[in-house]
Structure 1
Amino acid sequence: MLIDSYDRVVDYIRISVTERCNFRCNYCMPEKPFSWVPKENLLTFEELFEFVKVCIDEGVKKIRITGGEPLLREGLDTFIKMIYDYAPEIDLAMTTNAFLLKGAAQKLKDAGLKRINVSIDTLKPEVARDIAGKDVLENVLAGVEEALKVGLKVKVNMVPMKTVNAEEIIDVLEYCKARGMSIRFIEYMENQHAKAEIKGLKSPELLALLREKYSFSDDGFDGASPSHYYTMDDGYRFGIIEPYEDDFCKQCNRIRLTAEGNLIPCLYFDEAMSIGEAVKRGDIKGATAVLKEVVRTKPEKNRWGGEDGESSNRAFYETGG
């Protein structure tokens, strides 16, 4: 079992299989050129799998595949099947922008993927184009429908932004509700790679808008999930992720691995240790030692919020957010 110095059990790893993305979302990486890390710099799926086995053997129960956009990496379903065949009980999920999902959903389901998270920040094609840097909405929605059709569980993330999509909060919620998908509203996370003019909605503003149409109860947090949950009178449940609140970090149970092998203890922090060289030379004992050290030194909380709050230099496209 992996336990950090604050007695939190770390049983969840997010694995970024690529930093490449086919979107240029204005809250993530709007100015980044369409370039990528050379393939030889990345851990192969076989190398990643050797480390995944270590994590599972040390007590990891949940694995999420992220990017960049993970579907840009060829053979992803093979990697997922490796994990599933080794530990079919693992909660195996993926975060995707869904642009390529329609053609991949069945293969992913057959490989053992159980759940996906998809970002839907708008239902208006022109707004989606402004956010992502190109026409994407038709493909995204088609991918979501295909995922539901093949039996994948789908959760939607939305980042509400003033003057961009704030007026669509209820529309996107109703879209999700009609399809049996849960939704989480994510407060915009200040970072140095985003457009400077972006202003996100904070939780109180968001809840005020939702109360104009709905009545709901406050359920608080659910286990180690970062979401603050609410239940409507009809039983539908939505969540809000508030990275600026102290409770966001209190139950954190996750670490992150980049495609190049950097193991990161916190979404905010730039600090990392590499398991890359150890894995490449077959030194599983060395990789295990790095894993345990990263867990041991995992910070109590991020640096967002408060008087000393900062804008993160973390490139979320390297760690999957």
Structure 2
Amino acid sequence: MLIDGHGRTVNYLRISVTERCNFRCQYCMPEKPFSWVPKENLLTFEELFLFVKVAIDGGVTKIRLTGGEPLLREDLDKFIKMISDYKPDIDLALTTNAYLLPEAAQRLKDAGLKRLNISLDSLKADVAAKIAGKDVLPQVLKGIEKALEVGLKVKINMVPLKGINDGEILDILEYCKARNIKVRFIEYMENRHADQALKGMHGREILEKVKERHTIHALGREGASPSFNYALEDGTEFGLIDPHKHDFCESCNRIRLTAEGNLIPCLYFDEAMSIAESVKKGDIHGAANVLAQVLKDKPKENRWSEENPNEEKEISSRAFYETGG
């Protein structure tokens, strides 16, 4: 069992397999050129897998592959199969923008992937294009349908932004309801790589928008999930992820690994330790020692706070495209 310095059990590993992305979303990396880390700087899947085995043997029961856009990493299905073959019952998931899913969904399912989280910020082609930096909606919707067709479990993530897609919260909810998909509305997380003119919606504003059409009641959090769940009058469930509250951190059970081998204890903080040297040498004990130190140093909570609403929130310098959200 993996325990951090504050007594929390850590059983969830998120692996960013690439920082490359085929979108330029306003809340993530709108100005970043279409370049990428040289391939030789990335850990190979074999090197990543060496650490995955250390993590699984230590108690990790859930792994999520992220990016950037993870489907841009060649032969990702082979990496998924390596993990699935090692521990068939592991909760193995992927976060994606779905653009490449129409061709990839069946391969991912066959390799052992169980679940997908898909970003869908608008059902209007022009709004989706404004957010993503190019025309993406038809292909994204096709990817969602293909994932459902092959039997992958799907969740939808939406980031409501004032003046951009805030009028589509109910539309996205209805779209998901019709397909028996759970949607999670995520508060925009301020970061220096995003368009600084963006204004996100507060969680209570999102809930008020849902209440315009529905009666809702709170269900609470499920385990260590960051999503606070609610149900509509007909039992349809949706989630709200609010990183500005510290109860978001109280049950945090995750650490993150970048494609270059940086092991990150908290999404907000820039502090990290590298496993690259150890795994490149096949040094399992060295990788385990780095993991132990990162767990020890894992902070109690993030720096996003609403304790004093008159103070300006601190903006993270974390590049979310390197770590996943």
Report the TM-score, using the length of structure 1 for normalisation: 0.99
Structure 2 distance, partners of 1:246, 1:68, is 26
Aligned positions of 1:1-321 closer than 5 A: 1-306=1-306, 307=308, 309-321=313-325
Q: Could you say what secondary structure the match of 1:128 adopts?
A: helix
Deviation at 1:7, TM superposition (A): 1.0
Structure 1 distance, partners of 2:202, 2:149, is 34
| Residues 134-176 of structure 1 deviation map (CA, whole Å, 9 limit, x = unaligned) | 0000110000000000000000000000000000000001001
Structure 1 residue runs of 5 or longer lacking an equivalent are none
Q: Could you say what secondary structure the match of 2:29 adopts?
A: coil
Structure 2 distance, partners of 1:292, 1:101, is 36
Deviation at 1:128, TM superposition (A): 0.6
RMSD: 0.7
Structure 2 distance, partners of 1:222, 1:109, is 25
Q: Which stretches of structure 1, 4 residues or more, deviate above 2 A after TM superposition?
A: 306-309
Structure 2 distance, partners of 1:126, 1:268, is 31
| Residues 106-143 of structure 1 deviation map (CA, whole Å, 9 limit, x = unaligned) | 00000000000000000000001100000000110000
Q: Could you say what secondary structure the match of 1:20 adopts?
A: coil
Deviation at 1:180, TM superposition (A): 0.8
Structure 1 distance, partners of 2:291, 2:5, is 14
Deviation at 1:232, TM superposition (A): 1.1
Whichever residue aligns with residue 11 of structure 1, its letter is: N
Structure 2 distance, partners of 1:284, 1:221, is 35
Deviation at 1:205, TM superposition (A): 0.7
Percent of matched pairs sharing the same residue = 67
| Residues 255-274 of structure 1 deviation map (CA, whole Å, 9 limit, x = unaligned) | 00000000000000000000
Q: Could you say what secondary structure the match of 2:103 adopts?
A: coil
Structure 2 distance, partners of 1:140, 1:29, is 19
Structure 2 distance, partners of 1:281, 1:54, is 15
Structure 2 distance, partners of 1:93, 1:222, is 17
Q: Could you say what secondary structure the match of 1:239 adopts?
A: strand
Structure 2 distance, partners of 1:204, 1:73, is 37
Whichever residue aligns with residue 202 of structure 1, its letter is: H
Deviation at 1:95, TM superposition (A): 0.1
Structure 2 residue runs of 5 or longer lacking an equivalent are none
Structure 1 distance, partners of 2:287, 2:319, is 24
Structure 2 distance, partners of 1:266, 1:236, is 31
Whichever residue aligns with residue 217 of structure 1, its letter is: H
Structure 2 distance, partners of 1:5, 1:281, is 28
Deviation at 1:305, TM superposition (A): 1.8
Q: Could you say what secondary structure the match of 1:103 adopts?
A: helix
Structure 1 distance, partners of 2:228, 2:287, is 34
Q: Could you say what secondary structure the match of 1:154 adopts?
A: strand
Q: Could you say what secondary structure the match of 1:89 adopts?
A: coil
Structure 2 distance, partners of 1:41, 1:184, is 34
Whichever residue aligns with residue 222 of structure 1, its letter is: E
Structure 1 distance, partners of 2:209, 2:22, is 32
Deviation at 1:233, TM superposition (A): 1.3
Deviation at 1:225, TM superposition (A): 0.2
Report the TM-score, using the length of structure 2 for normalisation: 0.98
Structure 2 distance, partners of 1:310, 1:293, is 26
Q: Could you say what secondary structure the match of 1:102 adopts?
A: helix
Q: How many residues align?
A: 321
Structure 2 distance, partners of 1:152, 1:97, is 15
Deviation at 1:246, TM superposition (A): 1.4
